[in-house]
Amino acid sequence: MIPRNLDPLLRRSATWYPVVTVTGPRQSGKTTLCKATFPSHTYVSLEPVDQRERARTDPRGFLQDCEDGAILDEVQHVPDLLGYIQERVDEDPRPGRFILTGSQNFSLSRALSQSLAGRTAVLTLLPPSHDEIQRFASAPTTLDEALLAGSFPRIHDRQIPAQRWLADYVTTYVERDVRDILNVGDLQAFSTFVRLCAGQSGGELNLSRLGADAGVSHNTARSWLSVLETSYLFVRVPPWSRNLRKRLVKAPKLHIADSGLHCHLLGIRSVDQLRHHPLRGAIFESWMAMEILKNRIHAGLSPDLAHYRESRGLEVDLLVEGSESLTLVEAKAGATVHPDFVAPLGQLARLLEEANESRAIRRRLCHGGNRTGTIGGTELIPWSAIASADWQS
C-alpha cells in the first residue's frame, strides 16, 4: 500500500468522532486505507450476502462482535444498521469506534443524516492523485502515459494493463451496479449515454442533447447523470455565480472523474492514439480539474470550483475559491507555452479587481510541459506539479 494524502485527516477525525465514514468510488482504495490506518479494528465486509443478512436480521448481535472497534465495509448495503450504531455510540461515545466505508453516496447520505448526524465525520477518498501515484514502483513518467492509465490504484499496484482493467471496471461497476440502482432496462441506451457523457467531459453540459443522442428523455438523462455523479464517476462544475457582466453562460461544465476511464470510453487504447486525438485537450482539462479537486477533498475542504464564460468572448477554464485567494486557472495540454494562453486570465483578473474582489487573485497556467516560472504575471504549473501545488489557501 502507498501512503494516501487523506490518512492524516482520517486519523485526526477518529480522535474527534465515535464514527468516521469514508465514501468514494469503488476501487479507490477505501478498504486498504482503513485497514492500514486501523489495524486493531475488526474488519467486516458487508458485500457477502450472508454478512448482509446477519446484519439485517440481528443487528444488535452483529454489533456485539464489534465492541472494541470495527471497520464495516460497504455499509450502504445495510443502511438500517446505522440506527443501531447510533444506539451503540450514544451509550459509549469513545472516538474512533466505528469506521464505515461506502461506495454509493446516494445510499448512504440519507441514512447518515438521519442516524449519525453529529456523530460521524464524513470523508471522501478519490483515486490517487498524481503525486500519490508516483509512490508506486512503476509510475507513469510522461503526461500521455498518466492520462491513459488513469488513477485507479489497482492498475498501478498490480501493474495490470490499464485498458484491460478499465474494460472490466465499466462492465462490473458502471454497467452493472449503476444500472441496477437506476433499474435501467435498456443497457444499450445507458451505455451509449455514459460514453456520450465522456465525450462532453471538459465542455459545457447539454442534458437535452445528451438525452436526444442517447434516445432518452431529458428527465431520464438528468436522472442518469445524477446517479453517475453520486457514484463519483462524473463531476459537475458550476458556472461562476458573481455577475461581473450580463452575458454570462450559466451552464455547468462536466468532468469525468478519471482520465483512464475517459480514454477508455472514448475508444483511445494507446499513447500514440491519445497524442493525436482531437479531444486530448479536453481530457487534460478534466484531468487537471480532478487533480485540483483531489488536492482539496483529501485535505477535508469543499471543492469550491467554478468556471467562467461569457456568451461572446472571455472564458476561463477553472476558478478555485480559497479563503484567502481566488485562483484563476487555464489548462493547455501542449508542452509549449505561448503568451496568448494567459490573456484570458489577465482579463478576468482586471474585471474582478474592478468589482472590488477582496481576496488575492492568483493566475495559473497548467500545461503539458516542464516550464516553470511566470509569464505575464501568471504562474506556470507543469503537469507533473499540479497535484502538489497549493490549491487550498
Per-residue pLDDT of the chain (393 residues; tens, 9 = 90+): 799 999 999 999 999 999 999 999 989 999 999 999 999 999 999 999 999 999 999 999 999 988 888 999 999 889 899 999 999 999 999 999 999 998 865 567 777 777 888 999 999 999 999 999 999 998 999 999 999 999 999 999 999 999 999 999 988 877 667 766 776 667 788 889 999 999 999 999 999 999 999 999 999 899 889 888 988 899 999 998 776 665 677 899 999 999 999 999 999 999 999 999 999 999 999 999 999 999 999 999 999 999 999 887 899 999 999 888 999 999 999 999 999 999 999 999 999 999 888 899 999 999 999 999 999 999 999 999 999 999 998
Cβ–Cβ under 8 Å, residues 13 and 39: no
- Alpha-carbon dihedral 376, 379, 383, 385, rounded to 10 degrees: 160
| Number of domains within the chain | 2
Give tens-digit pLDDT for 114-126: 788 899 999 999 9
| CATH number (domain holding residue 32) | 3.40.50.300
Residues in Cβ contact with 267 at an 8 Å cutoff, skipping those fewer than 6 apart: none
393 domain residue, yes or no: no
> Each residue of 36-75: pLDDT tens digit?
999 999 999 999 999 999 999 999 999 998 888 899 999 9
C-alpha cell at 87: 444506539
The angle, 0 to 180 degrees and rounded to 10, between the axes of the packed helices 105-115 and 218-230 is 70
Residue 13: closest CA among 32, 35, 36, 38? 38
User: What is this structure's pTM?
Assistant: 0.94
* 69 and 198 both lie in a single domain: no
Does residue 390 lie in a domain region? no
Residue 150 CA to its chain's centroid (Å): 12
Say yes or no: 115 and 199 in one domain: no
Angstrom distance (rounded) from CA 190 to CA 193: 5
| Domain boundary pick from 124, 142, 158 | 124
Residues 172 and 71 in one domain: no
Co-location of 273 and 338 in the same domain:
yes
- In terms of domains, do 176 and 260 share one? yes
Please check whether residues 328 and 231 belong to one and the same domain: yes
Count CB neighbours of 145 within 10 A: 13
Where a domain ends, among 124, 156, 189?
124
Q: 3-state DSSP: the chain helix, strand, coil percent, rounded to 5?
A: 45, 20, 35
380 and 247 in a common domain: yes
